[in-house]
Amino acid sequence: MPPMIEIKHLRKEYKELVAVKDLCLELDKGDIFGFIGPNGAGKTTTIKMIATLLMPSAGTVIVDGIDVVRNPEQIRSIVGYMPDFFGVYDDIKVWEYLDFFAAAYRIPKGQRPQIIDDVLALTDLTIKKDSYVESLSRGMKQRLCLAKTLVHDPKVMLLDEPASGLDPRARIEIRELLLELQSMGKTIIVSSHILPEMEEFCNKIGIIERGELIVAGDVNTIARQVRGQHTIEIGVIEEMERAEAILLGMTDVLREVKVTTGMREAPNSPDEPGRRAMTLQRVERSGRGGVIQIGYVGVIDEEYKVLAALVQAGIKVRSFNAPETDLEDVFLRVTKGQVA
Amino acid sequence: MFGNPVLKKELLLRMRFRQGKAAQIGALIGIVLLIGLFHYYVLAWMLNDRNPLTGQAVWSIVIGLQYLLICLIAPVITANAITQEKEQQTWEMLVFTRLLPKQIIVGKLIARLVPIALIILLGLPLAAICALYSRQIGGHAADFVSVGHFLAVYLLMAATGFFLATFGLFASWLLKRTLYAIMASYTFSVGLLLLGTTLITTMISALVGDNGNFFLKCPLMWFNPAVLMFWAAGTPNSSEQLSMVVGIAGYIGLSLLMIWRMIAGFRRFAYQ
């Protein structure tokens, strides 16, 4: 199946400044791609080029088989775009706002009421249908903008910082909405600075810095590429030392073995009396069971062999899982904090 | 045209009166009373005087006032049409839709021409009564306001409103801030069209040692709205009528040229 979005050697120059350099990317249907990068890295420029709002200096962008430069009108019928900063019209009701955009996307008049009801239900704004847009909270306006982005049922959604400036509850609502959209088969490109949230709903990420896409792909694969290993946590009921010894012997597939049986707070610093110290230190040993963290560098499909070795040696394994990827760690490792 | 979503949205936003029913009715009564009183006093003055010249004088005052209002309102009424969208960050979302450039430009222009049309329509009955009254009472043929003259005056009014409003929209399309667009519109309408043409023509007149004929015959003055209305309000001779025709045609032609430029340059503008 051809990719839903295919970007080849995309470049954008503003006189001396090169905002995007040779960006290549492929996304499949149903992907949620997290576009990560510092301010000024080129995220918005890239999104605007996909959205036909900026002309690329070089390269091609193909969305669902359609070239964005050659057929911008067609692209606009299959792409939904939510800018990072957006406003709303005053003196207009929520349904009128959506009706205007539905009409602007050439949706027949007879179909509009049902579509408006559907997108309002999806974004949980049904109750606000007859409210004036300016009376909505920031989070509701954000959801209204998403609803507006959905009126023409786009296959691809480009969301530039959709959760910026929102309170935690509103951010969770946006996240759940994105997951629901993914389940509807939409391909979503979402840029954000809030990395922990990106981990939760993106199956692919790309890190961009100074206009260059440094890494892109599956979240776990990237984490493995960046760290050079794949972290696995093994919960052991007892015989921690023997389990550790077995793992230390598997030097061909394991890079590091760390025993992390628990945490305790470090004492207050003597030169800062009264200030609660936030540093946590590992406890070296706790006698019986605990957790061992390993850095697996072998073939992904053969991770089970590590588990098999422990079980065959009679070690009582309670759990064997990969902890959630720390996207912030990955981000900090690959970027240098530079802008284009 | 009425299927244009931009036109419908603009009319909705501009005509919406969010106060309660009582306030709406109160405002309506207030407007009707104001216009009614104005009509009453003007008609009373004219009927008491019973002089054909009074009819024409009142006609001149009515169309003069209408024209003044149009010249003051038209440049500013469209100057925020596009800059406001840019300032409130709705422009990008608007151009991203499947709306055609002509739908956006024409929709915004027509919606904002409605107040100008209202000014013309509200003064039309009184102007018509004045013109008819002037004919009814009799007098010199030259004092009559003929049907052709009447229509020409309102054509000039509509053309001037259309031209100035289109220039305001053009400034709004070209510039990023409403303030700059308003300044550009007024600089053009007052500074260039009204004062600029007068000053330049005066200077040329002085240089060529003119005795006063050149001033009104200079083609630059054919585009001066005050001079055009001065001719229209009086009884224009054939030379002035020709100048008016050229002025009106120029206004309409330039307006269409600006509209074409906005539509033709729209896609490139969105891609910049």
Q: Given this model, what pLDDT does residue A103 score?
A: 94
Q: Which of the two residues, A74 and B267, has the higher pLDDT score?
A: A74
* pTM greater than 0.95 (yes/no): no
Residues 6 or more apart whose Cβ sits within 8 Å of residue B118:
none
| pLDDT score of B141 more than 60 | no
| pLDDT score of B196 more than 70 | yes
| pLDDT score of B123 more than 50 | yes
Q: Given this model, what pLDDT does residue A325 score?
A: 61
What are the residues of chain A with a beta carbon less than 8 Å away from any beta carbon of chain B?
Answer: 51-55, 72-73, 76-77, 81, 83, 85-92, 96, 100-101, 103-106, 132, 145, 148, 152
Structure tokens at A194: 């809030």
Q: Given this model, what pLDDT does residue A115 score?
A: 94
Q: Given this model, what pLDDT does residue A272 score?
A: 44
Q: Given this model, what pLDDT does residue A17 score?
A: 86
Cβ separation A85–B89 shorter than 8 A: yes
Mean pLDDT of chain B: 84
Size of interface A-B (CB pairs under 8 A): 66
Residues of chain A with pLDDT under 50: 262-286
Query: To the nearest whole percent, how much of chain B has pLDDT over 70?
Result: 90
- CB-based burial, B156-186: b 16+ in 10 Å, e otherwise: bbbbbbbbbbbbbbbbbbbbeebeebbebbb
CB A33 within 8 A of CB A192: no
Residues 6 or more apart whose Cβ sits within 8 Å of residue A54:
A12, A45, A48, B271
Amino acid in the structure at residue A255: R
Structure tokens at A310: 């422990």
CA B246 – CA B229 distance, rounded (Å): 13
Determine the residue of chain A that is closest to B19 in CA distance.
Answer: A91
Which of A53, A86, A92 has the CB atom closest to B13's CB atom? A92
- What integer is the mean pLDDT of B224-251? 86
Q: Which of B240, B235, B45 is nearest to B140 (CA)?
A: B235
Amino acid in the structure at residue A232: I
Q: pLDDT tier at B237 (50, 70, 90 boundaries)? A: confident
Lowest mean pLDDT among A262-271, B90-99, B218-227: A262-271
Q: β-strands A254-259, A290-296: how paired?
A: antiparallel
Q: pLDDT tier at B207 (50, 70, 90 boundaries)? A: confident
Determine the residue of chain A that is closest to B99 in CA distance.
Answer: A104
According to the per-residue pLDDT averaged within each range, which of A92-101, A316-325, B32-41, B45-54 is highest?
A92-101
Q: pLDDT tier at B212 (50, 70, 90 boundaries)? A: low
Cβ separation B93–A103 shorter than 8 A: no
Question: Which residues on A lie below 8 Å from B18 (Cβ)?
Answer: 91, 132
Cβ separation A104–B99 shorter than 8 A: yes
Cβ separation B8–A55 shorter than 8 A: no
Determine the residue of chain A that is closest to B17 in CA distance.
Answer: A91
Q: Given this model, what pLDDT does residue A263 score?
A: 40
Burial class of residue A187, CB neighbours in 10 A (0-12, 13-18, 19+): buried
- The three-state (H, E, C) secondary structure of chain B, written as one string: CCCCHHHHHHHHHHHCCCCCHHHHHHHHHHHHHHHHHHHHHHHHHHHHHCCHHHHHHHHHHHHHHHHHHHHHHHHHHCCCCCHHHHHCCCHHHHHHCCCCHHHHHHHHHHHHHHHHHHHHHHHHHHHHHHHHHHHHHCCCHHHCCCHHHHHHHHHHHHHHHHHHHHHHHHHHHHCCCHHHHHHHHHHHHHHHHHHHHHHHHHHHHHHHCCCCHHHHHCHHHHHCHHHHHHHHHCCCCHHHHHHHHHHHHHHHHHHHHHHHHHHHCHHHHHHC
Cα dist from A122 to A127, A161, A176, B59, B217, whole Å: 12, 20, 11, 61, 68
According to the per-residue pLDDT averaged within each range, which of A281-290, B9-18, B86-95, B175-184 is highest?
B175-184
Question: Which residues on B lie below 8 Å from A135 (Cβ)?
Answer: none
Cβ separation A104–B94 shorter than 8 A: yes
CA distance B129 to chain A (A): 39
CA B58 – CA B248 distance, rounded (Å): 24
CA B239 – CA B236 distance, rounded (Å): 8
CA distance A203 to chain B (A): 27
CB A5 within 8 A of CB A204: no
Mean pLDDT of chain A: 81
